[in-house]
Structure 1
Amino acid sequence: MRTSAEGVALMHHFESCRLVAYPDPGSKDGHPWTIGWGHTGREVKKGLVWTQAQADAAFVQDLAATEAGVQRLLKVPLTQGQFDALVSFAYNVGLDENQNGKAEGLGESTLLRKLNAKDYAGAAEQFLRWNKNDGAVMHGLTKRRTAEQGPVPGLHSPGGHRRG
């Protein structure tokens, strides 16, 4: 399964594109530094500048990696809207596939555990628990989690649809 055009639009809306690297506005230490459509990595540091083509190419790569990670973690089939919401969430918080027992992203989250148990409503309720950065509630994250949560396109039911 691949993220739909609507899912990409949702992610682009909340990530926006910045061609000059910037510190994470909600973290106490400014890490991680970010550029483009929410790209982070060791190469992203203060002073880094990209072209729009570089930002778009990195987004395509990052999205493909996130989609693959979500598919590895899933044990249940999802509708397109549910998949889009989960990829958007994982793109933002990370996949957390290191199995260290600490929920630092999708992989060890209660959201994923409930989803894989087919508790769609319980999974949907978990989105809003991920609206903080360094312990502080972030208005932008609350808006993003609400959009991902649904009831559509989120995970309330196996038959969820996208907003029109």
Structure 2
Amino acid sequence: MSEELHPVRLTVNGVTHRVEVPARRLLSDALRHDVGLTGTHVGCEHGVCGACTVLVDGDPVRSCLMLAVSAADHEITTVEGLAAPDGTLSPVQQAFAECHGLQCGFCTPGFLTTITAGLRENPCPSHEQAREMIAGNLCRCTGYQNIVKAVERAAQIGASDKAAS
């Protein structure tokens, strides 16, 4: 007997996708397997590592803990949606590249989305606030120093972008 599928409308990075998913399909799996966006990584499948973090209506959410049916009719932003349509990197992406905030890259999508939301809430964090902003994301390769530098650099880039506007 096959599992019943439910029609779900997911708006991901500004594009509407109509998918049919089992009731228990996780948002992370729907993004990767049904929508075809593989930038969202699944590390622990328990909401602990943060690698699967996406933005739902602008708020960071562990996509391995959210059902796809629960994400229907919400705006979802994945790491693929952070850059501008022309490919220009977001301030957070640019800062990660400048500050060498990644090594293997597995955890990077979760950090990028988490920091993007964090800087919207606090565009000029102190060093301690920058550390706290990333506290829920785990990285096995770095010592977090360059990631914290990237948060601080992204805040600088964001401030100069606003000043130039």
TM over 0.5: no
Length-normalised TM-score, structure 2: 0.31
Larger Rg: 2
Larger strand percent: 2
TM-score (norm 1): 0.31
